[in-house]
């Protein structure tokens, strides 16, 4: 393996770890080339799992620690636990240039705090933003901020626009990045002063990374007319949870409808292929992997309750943004 990218993996974070983490690595490893995994966690647990997989021994290094951060730990108590937890050591490997990025399914607040303690912000970026993928009619949206910042200034939202566009371009290099501000209306005069001032800022300062498309309303997020949606962390988190809840509700109601009668079951059989496509479109595992943008190294948060398929997808997101030089794109374009 020549000059592989190196991913630091917190093997102990999230539900069913390290089992799902190692199996996720196995899935990712089978579809990727030139990737090396620095795996942090309890070697007694990990070795018994990894020995049953097809992961080549030349593709990983296991760094042992029995200490881990629990989901119930507060960010402050997690940071005070010591520097020998699997999450801290994984992030520290980025700081020491031993890894190119980190993926963890562990405690979100702890991950953010420990990452900010160990890593630097990109110059001229004031606040980090949590970004994730969100399906639309034509492909995928990048949406940010999803909860890192409750309040944002015009400068923050403009920075998020650039960072979101750079992420979109890294993941989908053949697409044009189209940025829009999430607002209560599409008219130029709608919204609060911060939103309106950001609109003016983005309209006046053109950037080759993206086209600014103005405002987008919540009911048009999935239309596919834009693909980078920018908002503050409070609004973004509410929108995300609403979309997740709606998707789960629709899936559950469809399942109930098709199982409630003989006619429903026959209809399900006749439409099995369409139902499979619909289920895949709403499968959150396929969009797993939120990115904390703004730090000088990539930090990827896998959903804590996802399975090995979801974790493998967060590793794929990680691989793509490293190979596409995401951080470099942001540094070269920041105002």
Instruction: Summarize pLDDT for 176-205 with one digit per residue, the tens.
Output: 999 999 999 877 778 889 999 999 999 998
Range of the domain at 88: 1-121+294-325
Is 332 within the bounds of a domain? no
pLDDT confidence tier of residue 207, bands split at 50, 70 and 90:
confident
Q: Is pLDDT of 1 > 90?
A: no
Is 331 within the bounds of a domain? no
Q: Is pLDDT of 279 > 80?
A: no
Helix, strand, or coil here: 83? coil
Is 98 within the bounds of a domain? yes
Helix (H) or strand (E) holding 86: helix 86-95
Which residues, 6+ apart, have CB-to-CB distance to 116 below 8 Å?
Answer: 128, 295
Q: Is pLDDT of 287 > 90?
A: no
The residue behind tokens 């709403």 is: 282
The tens digit of pLDDT for each residue in 125-155 reads 999 999 988 888 888 899 998 988 889 999 9
Is 91 within the bounds of a domain? yes
Is 313 within the bounds of a domain? yes
Which residues, 6+ apart, have CB-to-CB distance to 192 below 8 Å?
Answer: none
Beta pairing class for 101-104 and 299-301? parallel
Q: Do 173 and 114 fall within a single domain?
A: no
C-alpha dist (Å) from residue 35 to 55, 97, 102, 121: 11, 15, 13, 26
Q: Do 256 and 141 fall within a single domain?
A: yes
Query: pTM score, two decimals?
Result: 0.86
CA 91 – CA 297 distance, rounded (Å): 9
Sheet holding 299-301, edge to edge: 60-64, 35-41, 5-10, 101-104, 299-301, 290-293, 129-136, 139-144, 228-230, 178-182, 211-216
């Amino acid at each position: 393996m020549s000059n592989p990218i190196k991913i630091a993996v917190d093997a102990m974070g999230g539900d069913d770890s390290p089992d799902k983490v190692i199996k996720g690595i196995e899935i990712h490893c089978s579809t990727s080339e030139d990737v090396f995994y620095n795996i942090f966690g309890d070697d007694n647990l990990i070795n018994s799992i990894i020995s049953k997989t097809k992961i080549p021994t030349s593709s990983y290094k296991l760094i042992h620690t029995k200490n881990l951060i629990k989901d119930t730990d507060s960010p402050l108590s997690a940071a005070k636990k010591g520097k020998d937890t699997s999450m801290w050591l994984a992030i520290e490997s980025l700081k020491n240039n031993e890894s190119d990025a980190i993926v963890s399914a562990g405690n979100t607040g702890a991950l953010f705090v420990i990452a900010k303690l160990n890593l630097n912000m990109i110059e001229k970026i004031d606040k980090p933003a949590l970004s994730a993928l969100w399906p639309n009619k034509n492909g995928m949206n990048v949406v940010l901020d999803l909860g890192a910042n409750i309040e944002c200034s015009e400068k923050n939202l403009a920075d998020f626009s650039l960072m979101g566009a750079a992420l979109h371009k890294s993941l989908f290099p053949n697409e044009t990045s189209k940025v829009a501000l999430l607002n209560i209306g599409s008219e130029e005069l709608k919204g609060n002063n911060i939103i309106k001032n950001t609109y003016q800022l983005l309209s006046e300062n053109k950037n080759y990374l993206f086209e600014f498309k103005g405002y987008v309303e919540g009911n048009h997020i999935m239309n596919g007319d834009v693909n980078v949606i920018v908002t503050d962390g409070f609004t973004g988190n509410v929108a995300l949870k609403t979309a997740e809840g709606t998707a789960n509700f629709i899936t559950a109601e469809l399942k109930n409808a098709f199982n409630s009668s003989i006619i429903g079951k026959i209809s399900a059989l006749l439409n099995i292929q369409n139902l499979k496509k619909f289920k895949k479109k709403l499968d959150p595992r396929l969009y797993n992997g939120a990115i904390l943008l703004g730090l000088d190294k990539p930090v990827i948060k896998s959903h804590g309750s996802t399975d090995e398929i979801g974790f493998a997808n967060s590793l794929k997101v990680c691989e793509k943004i490293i190979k596409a030089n995401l951080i470099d794109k942001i540094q070269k374009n920041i105002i």
